[in-house]
Amino acid sequence: MGYAYDSIYDGTYHAVNNPFPVASGTMEVGNYGNVNFDRFCSGTSYEVNSFGSDRGFVDCLYLTGEEASGGKFYALNQNIRALWEVPDFGQAPWENGALIDTGITTHVAFILMSDTSSSPGEPIRLYIGEKGVDSNSDGEVDLLERNGLKAARYSISALIQASAKPIFPMVRLREHGQRTSMTHLEKRKNSKTFILILWTVPKSFLRTRQTAFIA
């Protein structure tokens, strides 16, 4: 039994200015983890093109986050056993995350969920990134960039009350004691706006929310 990774890259990686892993080999990754990692919560694993031809990640990835204050998210390239910090996901006491189908080949979307016990907790977050972009202009499209996990192209704007009743439930989550269902991510025709429909089901009524993500 050993580590699932042989090398670690932190959030400062740059192909020119900082091209080397912060730890390499069993002893180094062990020592680095002892000093820099906090407890990891659950994770999710994804094959290449999980949702069809060129839809999803380009590499076989396992993603997990630290369930601690200021926790970071990490992506493991399972084929070459390299662990990368994903700084663009931000920091939180992470519970888990889930890759969702954008319906297009150029972008990925990832639902991020933190574990906060104090009221009112934290909202579910949505990250959307474009694949294959050299976002830091270092002349290389690295693991994070080719999988759309660096330099998010879209960010959450607001939760808007909507009257439409959801009809395509795909995933069930639990948020602050209420069951939450989620539909797929949609891209409006001839527009750069993405729509994610979220709704919660309290004991007495159905509430529908619509969230717009604008380029």
User: What pLDDT is stored for residue 78 in this prediction?
Assistant: 95
* Lowest mean pLDDT segment, chosen from 17-21, 28-32, 153-157: 153-157
Higher pLDDT, 141 or 101: 141
pTM: 0.73
More confident: 188 or 104: 104
8 Å CB contact between 103 and 187 = yes
Q: How many residues does the chain have?
A: 215
Q: What is the pLDDT of residue 26?
A: 95
202-213 mean pLDDT:
36
Per-residue pLDDT, 138:
95
Bridge partners, residue 41, by sequence: none
Average pLDDT over residues 168-185: 35
CA distance 32 to 154: 32
pLDDT tens digits for 45-81?
999 999 999 999 999 999 999 999 999 999 999 999 9
195, pLDDT greater than 90: no
- Count helices and strands (H / E) in the chain: 2, 14
pLDDT at residue 171 greater than cutoff 50? no
- Non-local CB neighbours of 82 within 8 Å, separated by 6+ positions: 5, 6, 7, 8, 9, 21, 76, 143
CA dist 64 and 43 (Å) reads: 4
